A and B are shown apart, each in its own frame.
Chain A
Amino acid sequence: MAGSAANNTNNTLKSLLKLFTLLAIAGAAISSRLFSVIRHESIIHEFDPWFNFRATKVLVNHGFKHFWNWYDNTSWYPLGRATGGTLYPGLMLTSGLIHNILHSINIPLDIRNICVLLAPAFSALTAYTTYLFTKEVKDARAGLLAAIFIAIVPGYISRSVAGSYDNEAIAIFLLMFTFYLWVKSLRLGSAFWGAITAMSYYYMVSAWGGYAFIINMIPLHAFVLVLMGRYSPRLYISYCSFYTIGTLASMQVPFVGFNPVGTADHMAALGVFGLLQLIAFSTLIRQHLPSKQQFDTLLRSVLVLGFVVGVAAMALASHKGVIAPWTGRFYSLWDTGYAKVHIPIVASVSEHQPTSWPSFFFDLQMLIYLFPAGVFFCFHRLSDSIKGEASVFVIIYAVFGSYFASVMVRLMLTLTPIVCVAAAVALSTLLDNYIQDPDVEGEHQVENKETDHNTQHNVSHNTSQKAFTPKNKKTKKDTSISSTREKVIEKMQEKAGIRAPDARLVVLINVVLMLIFFVFHSTWVTSNAYSSPSVVLASKTPQGETLYIDDFREAYNWLNQTTSEDAVVGSWWDYGYQLAGMAGRTTLVDNNTWNNTHIATVGKIMASPEEVSYDILRKHDVTHLLVVFGGLLGYSGDDINKFLWMVRISEGVWPDEIHERDYFTPRGEFRMDEGAAPAMKNSVLYKMVYHRFAELFGSRPAVDRVRQIQLPKKGPQLESLEEAFTSENWLVRIYQVKQPDFLGRSFKDAIAFEKAARI
């Protein structure tokens, strides 16, 4: 009685401690993502978030209905974009909901601040979900470690700092939450939890295109379990309830529509669903048969036949076009050369490049080698009848996650959670063996303990056995000397464990030091690599002062204040979302990149001589052109460095008019200086970028600091365009497109006449 009371207080203490640990982890997760807010201000980052922010403002200001049917005629001018049906609304709805709830309880928090802080808030939830997931795989101890890892690992912070208001901000939480619910519903064999999994999946579908990963991972898991002979009614119930409800729900998202029944991406899920029906049906029959041997043979052959027929039917259907083939972006994951040849616009984005090993190390540091060890321990745990299934899941996820992450830098994000889980399993198994007393460490005992879910029970088990430890060991040692045969038997009975306290201490200290190093690494990476808003640039003066370069906002603000509301601003697609979000002006193309031809049109405007471009500009009602030029500042991500992609993309649409070759010198060099190719010197982009640049240097030669070249003394002459605005550091330059000459002269003639008149 007294013992159980002591246990109770012990348990209360433990759960309290756990709660505080989790709260501390949440605090760490949130605060480590606030570098940019503290250094700069509460501002939306980068490019895509600006669109999400604008869409959220539409939702909050005009209501749900307007948002759902939103037709945005200020982007992709003159085509417009049926925005409501072509976005994943989950993110906006989430922040809209939070906004409304806060306002209904009279907390007037600005929608901008909600958007900025959404990602850090959800990262805290991700940490908690990872804790729950890892608890399903191993136990609460590993769960806490996994939560710590995911809270501060740079691979996840890279996409979830304050201000990076993107789909991934909530999607990683949803990914882990869906997986956790799946593993849990599988363990319980519960249709209720299966349905909850489906609902979480629905949320995920509405939030991120990466939902395809879930709808392939879960069927694969089920399929592997069947292959391993671990089919169970639990699997049947949880999978079927997840698949049916999840698929029906996912079709309610307008952007997804009928994809779940019509594209190859989703067919694996359907196939496994069919397979499970076959298996369930035959096991049912089997139970009612007296002789099972012949039936088993029949069953096996029917299953194999059914599998083959199913695969063949799907192959035929996709060949005939009933099922749409894999989408290009998805397909390029398997055939790595595909995107470069067929979808240059995908290949041109830096986050679609393959991953070199330093990027892995940069984003995961010591977790990268704990990861394989953790997967190894998951194999160790397979024999566990219930939690083994979660281990299978971890293993499959690990294999595919690491493949995808190595093909595309961007998918490092999907690998990171499982790395944290596996690393936590590895480290906590190590810690288990070095912290706990030797006698309760026998592997079998550990495994047995895992199977009963009552951790409290375990604890009492531990403490009650403690008393017997020393004596037990001694007697065994004495007897083990007698004969070798006995020794062997003895060895098998003897419990594994670390006896020397100093050895334990050394290992533990090493682990603690490694963890501390990991914290230092993560903080450094977050602070230096992932916390720049990229809208405001920071640089250091030689004296060590921080200098903020705010040219982008300066230029967007200028557009907003000076140009008329219906002005159409042409720019390369990278700046489309920011233009719409910050300047509030109509754009030709933006980061949505749904219409390659339109993007190629802008590429052609930039790459062609003025006479050709002017016609296109007039036809598209463009009033202003915006270029980004880093030559004065040394900012390498400017339009000149993107120029080849503009040429390539427009060459893809107009192979007769634009030739990449023309922009190189006869010797094959890509030059900007005196010796640049004529096509380059005549291109509108070149002229806009270097217009009057040489005058800035007076008598000295003009130097482009990005490309380290000297420019000709006499800069390019613009005829049909007129400089309207250049920002402080020349980062953004805006040109006005001239009206046609009122006397019908060509611009050249008009300029020549003006000059003559002046003389």
Chain B
Amino acid sequence: MKIPEIISILIIASIALAKSALLSKYDSLAQNQAGVVKLDDLSYNELIRTPERDFGVAVVLTAMDERMKCTPCHKFAPEFHLLAKQAKGRRSTNKNSIVFASLDFMDGQRTFNDLGLNTAPSLFYHPPHQLNGHLYDFNRNGFLAERLVAFLNTHSPTKFAFKRPVDHTSTVIALVLLTILAVFAKKNWNTLTKPFIFSKWSWCMLTLIIILTMTSGYMWNQIRKPPQMVMTKNGAQYFANGVTNQYRAETVIIGTIYALLASTIVILTISVPKIQNTGRQRAAAYLWTLILIVTFSVLVYIFKMKQPIYPFRLFV
């Protein structure tokens, strides 16, 4: 009467044993490899394509080899390892967990072919018992571990929190520097600090620097993170095409041009009238006017380069 039950229990137990064997195998592998199991074609098949697998797998298909020149792969790897390390600490408490694995293109070309992948890195999360994984969208989410955790939490039955280890070195360095600066300022209070704080010209410099960086598009760079410049066949390209785009180098150039133009105005207004020799004064007035015209022409030229429909140009 009870034989079928016993048999079924036995079967379940054996399956459970088998399962835990698979998990413990990859667990220990992960222990040895800093949290991330390094796979090849064979172990990939064993781990991912086993229907009995009762735990989730987050596998990143990457290309870390130098020859592949995969910058995003290298960018993402430390984040992935960071996450794997934290998850490993939690694994002992939660049996139903995630194994973090990676498959390098050099070890798993066949798998790359099977999946039809021609970009790396690609990250899949395979829920327990499922062969088809969810693809993580790097283009949209970027490389940060926080976004990956959010992705995993929406798809996996286990939820886990990620806490980025705070890098204290920069804070400590900043604090030390600040104290040094404070002590220095205090020691030289009368000779340096006080004149500096109470001089309007130091504040003037500060103000002008802020204004110039802001009007030359610094915040755009901070938010959009464009490249420094772009290398083309014809050498470095400093100026991006189109008015809604710019490179970092470009804003520096523009900021300098603005600064030059503004100081030309200031010099013409304040310094030139103070020159006592009439001849020299005349020369200075001509010279700075020329500088003003030429620099402004260059500015207009650059703008026209970026927006070809702009109809005006000056002398350049």
Contacts and interface: CB of A to CB of B under 8 A. Distances in A.
Query: 8 closest A-B pairs (Cβ-Cβ)?
Result: A357-B217, A503-B285, A369-B261, A358-B243, A406-B219, A402-B214, A373-B265, A372-B262
Contacts of B137: 660-661, 664, 668
Contacts of B224: 354
A664 B139 CA distance: 11
B296 A366 contact: yes
Contacts of B303: 358, 361-362
Contacts of B285: 498, 500, 503-504, 506-507
Q: Which of B212, B217, B243, B273 has the most CB of A within 10 A?
A: B273
Given A402-B215, A498-B273, 15 more contacts: A336-B223, A357-B220, A358-B243, A362-B307, A369-B296, A372-B212, A372-B215, A372-B262, A403-B210, A403-B214, A403-B219, A405-B215, A406-B214, A430-B269, A506-B286
A655 interface: yes
B278 A500 contact: yes
B243 A372 contact: no
B261 A524 contact: no
A430 B263 CA distance: 12
A399 interface: yes
Given A357-B250, A358-B307, A498 B204 contact: no
Contact of B262 (A370, A395, A500): A370
A502 interface: yes
Interface in A385-407: 395, 398-399, 402-403, 405-407
Interface string A332-365: 0000110000000000000001111111111000
Interface residues of B, number: 66
Nearest to A476: B276
Interface stretch (B16-24, B40-48, B251-259): B251-259
A510 interface: yes
B293 interface: yes
A498 B212 CA distance: 29
A222 interface: no
B245 A369 contact: no
Contact of B219 (A395, A407, A430, A668): A407
Nearest to B138: A668
Given A336-B223, A506-B286, A520-B312, A497 B262 contact: no
B289 A362 contact: no
A567 interface: no
Contacts of B258: 368-369, 372
A382 interface: yes
Nearest to B271: A496
A351 B131 CA distance: 45
Interface string A273-301: 00000000000000000000000000000
Contact of A357 (B251, B269, B310): B251
Contacts of B259: 372
Given A356-B217, A358-B306, A500-B278, A372 B200 contact: no
B211 A375 contact: yes
B2 interface: no
Given A376-B262, A494-B276, A402 B210 contact: yes
A517 B303 CA distance: 15
Interface in A467-523: 491, 494, 496-500, 502-504, 506-507, 510, 514, 517, 520-521
Contacts of A360: 215-217
Interface residues of A, number: 66
A403 B203 CA distance: 17
Contacts of A192: none
Contacts of A499: 278, 281
A429 B219 contact: no
Nearest to B254: A357
Contacts of B311: 524
A303 to B, nearest CB: 17
B207 A395 contact: yes
Contact of A497 (B217, B246, B265, B273): B273
A426 interface: yes
A563 interface: no
A395 to B, nearest CB: 6
Contacts of B220: 354-357, 406
A441 interface: yes
B217 to A, nearest CB: 4
B170 interface: no
B249 interface: no
A494 B273 CA distance: 11
B265 A430 contact: yes
A357 B215 contact: yes
A371 interface: yes
Contacts of A521: 312
B244 interface: yes
A354 B296 contact: no
Given A371-B211, A498-B273, A358 B246 contact: yes
A519 to B, nearest CB: 11
Given A369-B262, A491-B276, A500-B278, A430 B268 contact: yes
A377 interface: yes
Contacts of B310: 524
Contacts of A376: 204, 208, 262, 266
Contacts of B218: 406
A498 B263 CA distance: 18
A326 interface: no
Given A524-B312, A661-B135, A399 B262 contact: no
A354 B223 contact: yes
Nearest to B140: A660
25 contacts: A337-B223, A354-B223, A355-B217, A356-B220, A357-B251, A358-B307, A362-B303, A368-B258, A371-B262, A376-B262, A382-B200, A395-B207, A406-B214, A406-B215, A426-B269, A433-B269, A496-B274, A498-B273, A503-B281, A506-B286, A524-B312, A655-B154, A664-B137, A666-B116, A666-B135
A357 B240 CA distance: 11
B222 interface: yes
B84 interface: no
B58 interface: no
A753 interface: no
A20 interface: no
B278 A405 contact: no
Interface string A405-431: 111000000000000000000110110
Nearest to A438: B273
B146 to A, nearest CB: 10
B312 A517 contact: yes
Nearest to B243: A358
A655 B150 CA distance: 12
A379 interface: yes
Contact of A372 (B211, B286, B296): B211
Contacts of A433: 269, 273
Contacts of B270: 380
A498 B281 contact: yes
B272 interface: yes
Given A403-B210, A499-B278, A500-B282, A507 B289 contact: yes
Contacts of A524: 310-312
B87 interface: no
A270 B75 CA distance: 48
B215 A368 contact: yes
Among A337, A373, A496, A664, the most chain B Cβ lie within 10 Å of the Cβ of A373
A223 to B, nearest CB: 15
Interface in B205-240: 207-208, 210-212, 214-220, 222-224
Contact of A361 (B208, B269, B299): B299
Contacts of B245: 356
Contact of B292 (A336, A382, A405, A510): A510
B305 to A, nearest CB: 10
Contact of A668 (B139, B204, B257, B296): B139
A398 B286 CA distance: 31
A664 B138 CA distance: 13
Nearest to A500: B282
